[in-house]
Amino acid sequence: MLPRSATAPGERMSRIGGNVYTTIRKRITLGEYPPGMQLKEEHLAAELGVSRSPVRAALRRLESDGLICVEAHRGAFVAEWTDRDVDEVFDLRAVLEAHAAALAARRRQPGQLARLQALNEETERLLANRGEDFLAELQRINLAFHETILQASCSPRLMAMARQLHEVQRVTGSFYYYGEDDLLRSLFQHRELTEAIEHQDERMAADLMGSHVRGAFARLRRQRKGVAASGGNAGED
């Protein structure tokens, strides 16, 4: 159930609507509502402790986001993704994040550069001392690295589009399973990117980021079928 707060009725309804949208979206991106699952208004309303109106509004927004499909006379379903859809997501990510890296090389602030360097050092320490939360920490650091580059681009519209693609990637289950060599390669590529941004080499930063994303996708395509049984480490790039 969503939290209640003592605010004016209009403000409260707006906040409830936003919370409903955020909650359902999060559950989709985390896989709690898997692809193909039907999202019934009455069930969601009861589950979240709200009326059907904010649920209906949230579903319209999620349809606009491309995260659900609404079928006439059937209702709303979490979007299912084909191999072609996944290909498109990675292609778009490569283009957008390459552009973001070029902008970051031009516009980055000292604090953002220091943040990238610190994340690389944190990754190196994590690889040397792997605890129970190794995978979760690896994913957190990787996401923070890419997010820092997006922030350094100083382009809110670009950030919003790239973030949405990251969420879609989680929905599709497009995780890459890292082997030992891949973990080291990813860190090396992150260091190269950081150096290009440090030296404000826009072309190099764009080329490196495009290769980084496309390389991860190429490995994903080779390993996608049956990789879960190989014992690798799941991650995202």
| Distance of alpha carbon 185 from alpha carbon 200, whole angstroms | 22
Residue 76, strand partner residues: 39, 70
112 and 66 both lie in a single domain: no
Q: What is the average pLDDT value for the chain, to the nearest integer?
A: 86
| Distance of alpha carbon 151 from alpha carbon 146, whole angstroms | 9
- Which spans in the chain are helix H? 9-29, 41-48, 52-65, 83-107, 110-128, 134-152, 156-171, 180-198, 202-223
124 and 205 both lie in a single domain: yes
The residue with greater pLDDT, 67 or 38, is 38
Answer with the one of 43, 78, 113 that is the final residue of a domain: 78
Structure confidence at residue 227 (pLDDT): 46
As for how many domains the chain has, the answer is: 2
Structure confidence at residue 228 (pLDDT): 44
pLDDT band for position 222 (cuts 50, 70, 90): confident
What's the CATH number where 120 sits?
A: 1.20.120.530
Write out the residue range of the structural domain in which residue 201 sits: 83-235
Query: Which residue type is seen at 235?
Result: G
Structure confidence at residue 43 (pLDDT): 96
Structure confidence at residue 67 (pLDDT): 87
Among the listed residues 161, 164, 146, the one whose alpha carbon sits nearest the alpha carbon of residue 237: 146
Report pLDDT digits (tens) over 158-168. Answer: 999 998 888 77
Structure confidence at residue 10 (pLDDT): 62
